[in-house]
């Protein structure tokens, strides 16, 4: 690909095929139908690639492999229902697809022409009607606005041509042939795009600093943070798996803007599919001249290499990430100097997160005004969230900034399963905080969340219901940060351990009210004295649960009870003597011989009831599982 | 976290060493090549015993302390061998709130080893990991490349899964 004509030619050649995937039938399409099979990590884990292979084999046997095209795409977002398969142009949405469903789908739908209703996503099928709802009319998709994820679940990520057919590399062409570096930076500044990795620093500002701070720098670097470490967050992984070229294109644009010729993507080794697709994408981009010495014949030179992380959460911090690329222990450095001045190998460097980059080409093509028209206040554009925990539609959603939490969880996410009550949403992972039910209508954007002591973070949103204990959740995150603290600075290394110990003491029923004051004091101390973002934000889960769920802490300390029934040491197993029939099954089962017969016989029962000695009970729960009469309960 | 260091004797072959030296030759001019070399070495040997770290240190001319420092810093590097079947229990948030802690406990009970350890016969090793990203299947356990999702941690379920790896 040398010029705009080449890009246009590819786009036109594939136009009719790509139209099918948007539900339109145009003349000149080679295939009648496209079957899109999700090849993201979630669906692949449940065997989607085997299903795709089987489908292709069957199509060949039936002699219709020239009419029906099987595409392995990135993530569609509704991971809860995986493996997912969509048949276009009609947009039939098959969920929980299994190998044995394939023959029927081939015979009845792909050959016969009528979708197999019982395998379709139930919301798309209406009782007594032949009408099948289109995908974007469903609750899950209708409220979404996909910008960063626009190609995920649409294109084959291993084919650069499909990316080009969706306007890929057109932004790079525009930048290199029509815009000065300063104009590019101005466009990004005007769009209001802010870092999607957690910090929320204005992206254009970062680029401007890297361009101007050291005017005589011989080498500069562009880095991409794909070391998505927040447990429960998988936005970046989905972009890399579903649309790797968008990251390469955006990094090249950034390279032009700041005057760099080398880029590095630091990606988690735990994401094998993403790594593989990035490798393929880089190779294709090099072959097609989208990376290399003379991109689009403009003389601009840029190349990208991969660096694999090795499982250290702290490497998500920018200076630690750069230290790690250099081949060292990934310990953070004091700032200033900031990376824009002295970053990788002490050269001016910018580091942006995957999702941030995924927005850049669209901003260049559609303009800053278009982008900044979405969002709320100082939070422009859209944000991808990974919904997880106690929610019906686990998966990936992209909504305009400022959408309320209630809309995201109740309308898009489908609410809480099993008729339980919403208790809190944990946003921002180990650096973030909890949003309790009283703030269910909060606008999810940088500023509104900051006001209630929380943060968007990288976009993980874990929903908790009444069965989750908030003290236990705080302890879970502190165990995480304690393990992941790199040990370089004292407040973080020792402070997180002390926080963890106090929380552990409380969950075991040995806490005192003074511990709560100690916790708070220690939190503020760690926040203000730690070297890097990991330590500075590590106390957030404690502070935020203390702020909104103090009564739960007090219940653990004063009443020695865990209201959610999670903290084992505080549970008591009790036999209801009125319900006990005296069969003795529980006593036989008990490994600690803690259950003995009493001399009380309940009215209507023949044998004396049993009772549990709380001093001997090890709380294993074996008795509950054995009791047929539901006479034993946890209290 | 402190790393467990293997006590079993090193049993690397000449072919493995040859492959390692070839890898080092291919990467040595790249600044920051230490981690890629160590990642490749772990692929070759399955773990990074001190003997292997010494070869890397000598070949790349970096102090052994530095190689050891990097090996202990990153969770991915292990200094004790893994089992024939590597069990990883996801303790990421989404899995944790859906009960992966219980799954870990039961696996540990069933195998008689703690996280980070390997069974006497070298068949199973047990580890916790942070978010494999299959949150829709939470709680998730992976055994080599097989993924088991939506687990409950019931003893029958755990035994049934382990029974598949009887050979």
Statement to judge: residues B25 and B64 lie in one domain: yes
pLDDT (tens digit per residue) in B91-102: 888 888 888 888
The verdict on a CB contact (< 8 Å) between A308 and B35 is yes
- Whole-number Å distance between alpha carbons of A466 and B34: 48
Statement to judge: residues B147 and B126 lie in one domain: yes
CA distances from A234 to A150, A153, A241, A424, A614 (A): 16, 15, 11, 20, 43
The reported pLDDT for the residue numbered A429 is 87
* Domain contains B110: yes
Of A431, A425, A354, give the one whose Cα is nearest residue A196.
Answer: A354
When comparing pLDDT for B166 and B64, which is higher? B64
Of A481, A480, A477, A475, give the one whose Cα is nearest residue A506.
Answer: A475
Statement to judge: residues B103 and B136 lie in one domain: yes
Q: How far is A234 from chain B (nearest CA, A)?
A: 6
* Domain contains B56: yes
CA distances from A267 to A306, A325, A532 (A): 7, 10, 20
Give me the half-sphere count of Cα atoms (radius 13 Å) on the Cβ side of residue A612: 29
Q: How far is B1 from chain A (nearest CA, A)?
A: 6
B-contacting residues in A 483-542 (Cβ below 8 Å): 483, 486
Q: In a mutagenesis test of the A interface, which of B131, B152, B156, B157 is the best target, namely the one with the most A β-carbons within 10 Å?
A: B131
Statement to judge: residues B56 and B103 lie in one domain: no
- From chain A, the residues in CB contact with B137 under 8 A are 42, 45-46, 79, 82
* Domain contains B120: yes
- Whole-number Å distance between alpha carbons of A330 and A266: 12
B103 is in which domain, residue-wise? 85-163
The reported pLDDT for the residue numbered B166 is 82
**A313 at B interface, C-beta within 8 A:** yes
User: Does the ipTM surpass 0.95?
Assistant: no
* Domain contains B79: no
Task: Centre a 10 Å sphere on the Cβ of residue B129 and count the other Cβ atoms it contains.
Answer: 21
Domains by residue range for chain A, with CATH: 31-142 (3.40.30.10), 160-372 (3.40.50.11540), 375-465 (3.10.20.600), 470-557 (1.20.1440.230), 572-634 (3.30.70.3270)
End-to-end CA distance of chain A: 69
Q: If you measure CA to CA, which chain B residue comes closest to A308?
A: B36
The reported pLDDT for the residue numbered A1 is 85
The verdict on a CB contact (< 8 Å) between B133 and A271 is yes
* Domain contains B4: no
- Among residues B22, B45, B73, which one ends one of the domains? B73
Statement to judge: residues B91 and B153 lie in one domain: yes
Statement to judge: residues B133 and B113 lie in one domain: yes
Mean local confidence (pLDDT), B109-126: 89
* Domain contains B155: yes
CA distances from A533 to A314, A317, A459, A528, A530 (A): 9, 7, 16, 11, 8
Q: How far is A173 from chain B (nearest CA, A)?
A: 30
The reported pLDDT for the residue numbered A565 is 86
* Domain contains B145: yes
Q: If you measure CA to CA, which chain A residue comes closest to B67?
A: A328
- From chain A, the residues in CB contact with B36 under 8 A are 307-308
The reported pLDDT for the residue numbered A518 is 96
Of A437, A429, A433, give the one whose Cα is nearest residue A449.
Answer: A433
Statement to judge: residues B96 and B66 lie in one domain: no
* Domain contains B19: yes
- From chain B, the residues in CB contact with A332 under 8 A are none
The reported pLDDT for the residue numbered A485 is 94
Q: In a mutagenesis test of the A interface, which of B30, B40, B94 is the best target, namely the one with the most A β-carbons within 10 Å?
A: B94
The reported pLDDT for the residue numbered B94 is 82
- Among residues B73, B103, B120, which one ends one of the domains? B73
- Whole-number Å distance between alpha carbons of A336 and A313: 22
B1, pLDDT greater than 60? no
Dihedral angle of Cα A485, A486, A489, A492, to the nearest 10 degrees: 0
Domain total of chain B:
2
Residues of chain A scoring pLDDT < 70: none
pLDDT (tens digit per residue) in B17-50: 999 999 999 999 988 899 999 999 999 998 999 9
The reported pLDDT for the residue numbered A51 is 96
- Whole-number Å distance between alpha carbons of A553 and A507: 9
The confidence band for B2, taking pLDDT boundaries of 50, 70 and 90, is low
Strand ranges (E), chain B: 85-90, 117-118, 124-129, 141-143, 146-148
Of A5, A537, A488, A511, give the one whose Cα is nearest residue A229.
Answer: A537
The verdict on a CB contact (< 8 Å) between B35 and A324 is yes
The CATH number linked to B146 is 3.40.30.10
């Amino acid at each position: 690909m040398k010029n705009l004509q080449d890009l246009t030619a590819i786009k036109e050649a594939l136009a009719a095929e790509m139209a099918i995937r948007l539900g339109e039938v145009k003349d000149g399409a080679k295939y009648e139908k496209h079957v899109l099979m999700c090849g993201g990590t979630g669906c692949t884990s449940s065997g989607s690639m085997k299903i795709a292979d089987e489908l292709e084999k069957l199509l060949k046997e039936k002699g219709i492999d020239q009419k029906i095209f099987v595409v392995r795409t990135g993530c569609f977002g509704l991971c809860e229902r995986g493996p997912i398969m969509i048949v276009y142009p009609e947009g039939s949405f098959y969920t929980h697809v299994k190998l044995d469903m394939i023959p029927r789908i081939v015979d009845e739908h792909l050959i016969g022409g009528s979708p197999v209703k019982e395998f379709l996503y139930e919301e798309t099928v209406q009782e007594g009607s032949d009408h099948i709802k289109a995908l974007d009319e469903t609750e899950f998709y209708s409220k979404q606005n996909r910008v960063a994820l626009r190609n995920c679940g649409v294109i084959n990520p291993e084919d650069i041509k499909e990316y080009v057919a969706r306007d890929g590399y057109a932004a790079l062409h525009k930048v290199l042939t029509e815009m000065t570096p300063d104009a590019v930076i101005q466009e990004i500044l005007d769009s209001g795009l802010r870092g999607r990795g957690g910090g929320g620093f204005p992206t254009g500002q970062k680029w401007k600093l890297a361009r101007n701070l050291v005017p005589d720098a011989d080498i500069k670097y562009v880095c991409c943070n794909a070391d998505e470490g927040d447990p429960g967050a998988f936005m970046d992984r989905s972009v890399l798996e579903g649309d790797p070229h968008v990251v390469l294109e955006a990094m090249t644009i950034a390279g032009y803007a700041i005057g760099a010729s080398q880029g590095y993507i630091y990606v988690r080794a735990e994401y094998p599919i993403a790594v593989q697709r990035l490798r393929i994408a880089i190779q294709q981009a090099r072959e097609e001249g989208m990376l290399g010495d003379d991109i689009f014949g403009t003389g601009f030179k840029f190349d990208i290499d991969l660096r694999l992380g090795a499982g250290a959460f702290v490497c998500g911090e920018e200076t630690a990430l750069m230290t790690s690329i250099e081949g060292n222990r990934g310990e953070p450095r004091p700032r200033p100097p900031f990376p824009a001045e002295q970053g990788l190998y002490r050269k001016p460097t910018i580091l942006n997160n995957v999702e941030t980059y995924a927005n850049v080409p669209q901003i260049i093509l559609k303009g800053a005004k278009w982008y900044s028209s979405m969002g709320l206040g100082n939070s422009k554009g859209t944000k991808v969230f990974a919904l997880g925990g106690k929610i019906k539609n686990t998966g990936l959603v992209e909504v305009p900034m400022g959408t309320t939490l209630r809309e995201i969880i109740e309308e898009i996410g489908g609410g809480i399963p099993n008729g339980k009550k919403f208790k809190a949403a944990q946003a921002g992972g180990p650096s973030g905080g909890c949003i309790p039910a009283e703030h269910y209508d909060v606008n999810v954007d940088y500023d509104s969340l900051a006001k209630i002591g929380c943060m968007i973070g990288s976009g993980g949103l874990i929903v908790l219901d009444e069965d989750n204990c908030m003290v236990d959740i705080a302890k879970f995150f502190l165990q995480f940060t304690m393990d992941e603290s790199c040990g370089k600075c004292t407040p973080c290394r020792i402070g997180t351990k002390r926080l963890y110990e106090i929380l552990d003491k409380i969950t075991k029923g040995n806490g005192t009210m003074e511990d709560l004051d100690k916790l708070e004091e220690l939190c503020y101390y760690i926040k203000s004295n730690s070297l890097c973002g990991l330590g500075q934000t590590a106390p957030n889960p404690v502070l935020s649960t203390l702020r909104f769920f103090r009564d739960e802490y007090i219940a653990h300390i004063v009443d020695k009870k865990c209201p959610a029934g999670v903290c084992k040491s505080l549970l008591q197993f009790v036999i209801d003597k009125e319900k006990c029939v005296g069969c003795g099954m529980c006593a036989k089962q008990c490994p600690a011989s803690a259950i003995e017969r009493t001399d009380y016989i309940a009215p209507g029962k023949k044998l004396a009831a049993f009772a549990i000695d709380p001093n001997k009970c090890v709380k294993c729960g074996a008795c509950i599982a054995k009791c047929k009469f539901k006479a034993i309960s946890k209290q | 976290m402190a790393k467990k260091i293997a006590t079993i004797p090193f049993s690397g072959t000449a072919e493995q060493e040859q492959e390692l030296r070839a890898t080092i030759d291919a990467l040595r001019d790249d600044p920051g090549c230490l981690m890629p070399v160590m990642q490749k070495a772990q692929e070759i040997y399955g773990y990074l015993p001190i003997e292997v770290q010494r070869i890397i240190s000598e070949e790349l001319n970096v102090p052994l302390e530095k190689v050891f420092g990097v090996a202990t810093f990153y969770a991915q590097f292990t200094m004790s061998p893994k089992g024939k079947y590597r069990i990883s229990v996801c303790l990421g948030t989404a899995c944790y709130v859906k009960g992966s802690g219980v799954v870990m406990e039961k696996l540990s009970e069933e195998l008689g080893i703690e996280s980070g350890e390997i069974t006497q016969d070298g068949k199973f090793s047990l580890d916790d990991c942070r978010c494999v990203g299959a949150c829709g299947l939470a709680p998730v356990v992976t055994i080599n490349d097989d993924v088991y999702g939506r687990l409950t941690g019931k003893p029958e379920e755990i035994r049934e899964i382990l029974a598949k790896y009887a050979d």
